Amino acid sequence: MTDTLKTDYLLVGAGAMGMAFADTLVAETDAHITIVDRHPRPGGHWNIAYPFVTLHQPSSFYGVASRELSAGRIDEMGLNKGLADLATLPEIQAYYEAVMRDTLLPTGRVTYLPSSDYQGDGVIKNTRSGATQTIEFSTLVDATYWQNSVPANHTPNFSVDDGVQFLPCGGLSALETPPAGYVIIGGGKTGIDALLWLLEQGAKPDQLTWIISRDGWMHDRAATQPRPEFFKTTMGVQAAAFEAMANSTSRDDMYDRLEACGYFVRLDPNVRPQMFHAPTVSRPELEVLRTIKNVVRLGRVSHIGQTEIALDQGTIPTSPDHIHIDCSASAVQNRKTTAVFKPGRITLQTVRAYQPTFSASFIAHLEALGGTDADKNSKSGVVPFPDGLDDFVRMQAANMMNQAIWSQDKDLQRWIRANRLDGFSGLIRSADMDDPEVVDILTRLRKNAMPAAMKLQSYLV
């Protein structure tokens, strides 16, 4: 027998963006939402993340608008010492359970269907019992369009011989016997996390082999701090970045200027990055990573055998006693963009660079305001996730375009300033306008914003 449900919004995906959307829509409308998710609890990919993962940006930027995630502290120990706290996996998982239990469900306007799969055509299937339900809805909200790929569900694009010790990143924490060595495959945030965790747990740098197919630009976490005491660092670097973009003479010159002003950092000063996936590191983390000397830059892995690893541009030795750790999953699988608002459908995507949860909350606010899809889309241009160097330019250009559009709407500006996920508005409000250095930073920001945007547009031609 098939049950039938009715709802205003069918929200597919209870991950970070889905939860942020639901939180704002419930707060600003009287609509009913049915949330369907394959996982047994809310939080999306955090259900299957590796156990030692943390956020790589301050917790203040993450979560839902109605509930703080950050503990409000400055870390006093470790590689993030002196900077705003980074939520751990248990903290994030508990946070999303609390949002669902204490914020969404008590409204009586949210139905949550965990361990369930939306089959399309109004059919929901429970993955535990196999039972199906049909659902009638006005609007489908797709919070899974940009699928997260994490080590636990990633299929590597290379082959591995039988007998090779090969694990996803999360398998590291279960190891009890030291191997002959660790081979970390992947130069992104997951690879960085694995290496830093191993070194913090006592592994020696000469035990580590790091395979990087492409070096990437990274952000200095000290320049992403939303607390008032960091105003001059955070906003000073942002002002310098606008100047770097505006005064650059080519794309490569822009990257050099962005590095010189502290907006970007790189692993090896002698290796020019060829990609940008937006990881954020602290300077102490970067210094620890630089102690690893066996860094392999021979392209992508194509095969791992018992005695040899084949890459695009050569081979390196290995052994059956080495542990090979797959950290090659790309954070976002679907990089194609589409209009956020279409008849009967909302597709959640980023409308501000680096901030998926703010983006989802913002989209929910536009939906709550009403109006035509065309009007809402005019204020929610998609800011694509980056991969190559040109993608950084596209991302920044789209981001600055949205900011310019939003700045013309006073009501929208007030909403943004009141949204806790918008950390930088609060930072600017905290500025001491009696401090000449603060005034100079804000002046440089305003002066260079438009020239920077124009220069970025010229690099897209």
Q: What is the mean pLDDT of residues 185-213?
A: 96
* pTM score, whole prediction: 0.95
Q: What is the mean pLDDT of residues 202-217?
A: 96
Residue in the structure block whose two tokens are 């080590």: 151
CA nearest neighbour of 35 among 111, 95, 107: 111
In angstroms, rounded to a whole number, what is the distance separating the alpha carbons of residues 259 and 269? 10
In angstroms, rounded to a whole number, what is the distance separating the alpha carbons of residues 374 and 352? 19
What amino acid occupies position 376? K
In angstroms, rounded to a whole number, what is the distance separating the alpha carbons of residues 337 and 273? 25
CA nearest neighbour of 358 among 6, 38, 49, 57: 57
Question: SS3 helix, strand, coil % of the chain, rounded to 5?
Answer: 40, 20, 40
User: Given this model, what pLDDT does residue 1 score?
Assistant: 44
What amino acid occupies position 361? S
How sure is the predictor about 134, in pLDDT bands with cuts at 50, 70 and 90? very high
In angstroms, rounded to a whole number, what is the distance separating the alpha carbons of residues 354 and 343? 27
Query: What's 214's DSSP letter?
Result: S
In angstroms, rounded to a whole number, what is the distance separating the alpha carbons of residues 99 and 92? 11
What amino acid occupies position 21? F
Domains of the chain, each with CATH number or no CATH: 3-148+332-405 (3.40.50.720), 151-217+266-326 (3.50.50.60)
In angstroms, rounded to a whole number, what is the distance separating the alpha carbons of residues 90 and 41? 13
CA nearest neighbour of 334 among 88, 142, 98, 67: 142
Is the predicted pLDDT of residue 330 greater than 80, yes or no?
Answer: no
Is the predicted pLDDT of residue 149 greater than 80, yes or no?
Answer: no
Give CA 213 to chain center in angstroms.
Answer: 21
User: Given this model, what pLDDT does residue 425 score?
Assistant: 78
Alpha helices in 261-347 (DSSP H): 283-289
Bridge-based pairing of strands 314-317 and 165-168 is: unpaired
Residue in the structure block whose two tokens are 């009586």: 108
Which structure tokens are listed for 244?
């770097």
Q: What percent of the chain has pLDDT over 90?
A: 86
What amino acid occupies position 238? Q
At 280-301, the pLDDT tens digits run 999 999 999 999 999 999 999 9
At 332-387, the pLDDT tens digits run 555 688 999 999 999 999 999 999 999 999 999 999 999 999 999 999 999 998 88
In angstroms, rounded to a whole number, what is the distance separating the alpha carbons of residues 302 and 377? 42
User: Given this model, what pLDDT does residue 432 score?
Assistant: 87
User: Given this model, what pLDDT does residue 461 score?
Assistant: 73
CA nearest neighbour of 204 among 185, 174, 172, 181: 181
Distance in Å from the first CA to the final CA of the chain: 58
Give CA 306 to chain center in angstroms.
Answer: 35
Higher pLDDT, 388 or 415: 415
